[in-house]
Amino acid sequence: MATFITHSTEETRAFGASLAQKTVPGTVLAFRGDLGAGKTSSIQGFLEALGAEKPYTSPTFVIMKEYRLSKPSETGIARVYHIDAYRIESPSEMEKLGFEEWVADPEGVVLVEWPEKIAPLLPLQTKTLSLTWLSDTDREITVEGS
Ligand SMILES: Nc1ncnc2c1ncn2[C@@H]1O[C@H](COP(=O)(O)OP(=O)(O)OP(=O)(O)O)[C@@H](O)[C@H]1O
Ligand SMILES: [Mg+2]
């Protein structure tokens, strides 16, 4: 377990950027945490570090947004699937959207906000990050297994 405290949105984005540099294709990252905990901010930093095309809007209404990188990352990531499961009513709804194909993409990385909503679909090797709101500007981020 590693725990980080960030003191601004920028620091949370920087955390996401460093995470991107260490992430290999085929990884599923689950971002747990309440409303405003910093899930999207972390993912925005992740996307920016990989040079994904802006804007990095959270796919709350469309559920999934796919980014095709113009150039694969140093670790070989070619596509990033950003999922916001907040509005999902049942895991089967996510299955119908094609979740298993995104997870099976050998050059892809899947980033999930509100993973609790689709828990039964998450692969066993999913890496979980837990974000907690501490104060207006401070957030705690715990990374499982690192
Ligand atoms: N240290 C910090 N880290 C991240 N966000 C911060 C921090 N300090 C302030 N903020 C602000 O808090 C909000 C965090 O929102 P963000 O969208 O990242 O959270 P979220 O976990 O994705 O929430 P939601 O569940 O609504 O999608 C943003 O407005 C951001 O600017
Ligand atoms: Mg969000």
Q: What is the pLDDT along the chain (146 residues), one digit of tens a residue?
A: 899 999 999 999 999 999 999 999 999 999 999 999 999 999 999 999 999 999 999 888 889 999 999 999 999 999 999 999 999 999 999 999 999 999 999 999 999 999 999 999 999 999 999 999 999 999 999 999 76
| Ligand (nearest to CA of 35) | 1
Q: Where are the beta strands (DSSP E) in the chain?
A: 2-6, 28-32, 64-68, 79-84, 108-113, 127-133, 139-143
Q: Are 108 and 78 in contact (CB under 8 A)?
A: yes
Q: Check pocket membership of 113 for ligand 1, CB cut-off 6 A.
A: yes
Write the DSSP symbol of residue 106: T
- The tokens 């104060």 sit on which residue? 135
Q: Check pocket membership of 9 for ligand 1, CB cut-off 6 A.
A: yes
Q: Which helix (H) or strand (E) holds 4?
A: strand 2-6
Q: Check pocket membership of 57 for ligand 1, CB cut-off 6 A.
A: no
CATH number of 2-138: 3.40.50.300
- Ranges of each domain in the chain: 2-138
